[in-house]
Amino acid sequence: MFAQVLFSGLALGSIYGLVALGFAVVFKATDVFNFAQGIMVVFAGLTLVGLHEKGVPAYLALILTIGVMGLLALAVERLVMRPLVNQPDIILLMSTIGLTYFLIGFGEFIFGGEPKQMIASELGLPTGSTAFEIGDGGLLILQHIDIAAAVIALIMVGCLAVFFNKTRIGRALRAVADDHQAALSVGISLNQIWAIVWFAAGIVALTTGIMWGARSDVSFALEIIALKALPVLILGGFTSIPGAIVGGLIIGIGEKIGEIYWGPLVGGGIESWLAYMIALIFLLFRPQGLFGERIIERV
């Protein structure tokens, strides 16, 4: 029983980590909290499924969806971010909230509001399960799609960590996040950097939409999982790429264990709020998270 709960928590945590990864990418590179990451997950998944429903082959639909997310990144940079250069952080946050509601309305206009089934098998993703006997008659069921989600999350963390720390563009992204004016003064193109980072967030959103949609239907209800990214980021650290996955695993495992073993003591429903209680405790004792950068202000 415990092994099954632990695996379920790891699987759920991998998805939470992928969602938080999109937030961390944008925040690390631009110092902007992208409230629209949740709807970007939905929009990417619906675009992929919608193109396939129009008769486009699965892999071609995937390539076209990557192109759509690239166009979305350019549009966000040109129409939203560029006019707000050097504005207060709250202004940038409000702009991403506005982007969220625009994408909701635009997505419903194009794709409708009905849930859609992800084309997991046609993309080569595993859809079966494997059962193992453990202990005295115990049975552990491993969903292949959950294992794939964990592996993909680790691969993306590795790629993004190398990108941010070892490449010239990655160092430029970090410089822009530290100080826009200083980055501009040394010749770094702020417009180009923001387009790149929003495109990277779009690719993360597409991956998350595929993996979550393979576990359930793709619908606008998925936007709510963006709220679970908040406690994940608080645990892992807003600026940490590996921290997004570690925080996701902690929240995923904590929710499942709490619901099964502690939920009956309080009448159930603990899974909906336990993550935020864990995050609150972390804020009291380690506000920068497990891997976040400690902020020191000299006065």
Which is more confident, 48 or 215? 48
- Is the model's pLDDT at 27 over the cut of 80? yes
The least confident of 31-45, 46-60, 122-136, 139-153 is 122-136
The helix or strand, by DSSP H or E, that contains position 243, with its residue range, turns out to be helix 241-257
Q: What is the C-alpha to C-alpha distance for residues 53 and 51, in angstroms, rounded to an integer? A: 5
pLDDT at position 197, please? 85
Sign of CA dihedral 225, 212, 52, 54: negative
Which is more confident, 177 or 90? 90
Is residue 154 within 8 Å of 18, Cβ to Cβ?
no
The least confident of 123-132, 182-191, 212-221 is 182-191
pLDDT at position 37, please? 87
The number of beta carbons lying within 10 Å of the beta carbon of residue 82 is: 13
pLDDT at position 63, please? 92
- Is the model's pLDDT at 211 over the cut of 80? yes
pLDDT at position 7, please? 82
Is residue 89 within 8 Å of 34, Cβ to Cβ?
no
pLDDT tens-digit map of 231-260 = 898 898 888 888 888 888 888 888 888 888
Rounded to the nearest integer, the mean pLDDT of the chain is 82
The least confident of 3-7, 104-108, 223-227 is 223-227
SS3 state at 35: coil
Output 178-186 pairs: Cβ under 8 A, ≥24 positions apart.
178/31, 180/85, 180/86, 181/86
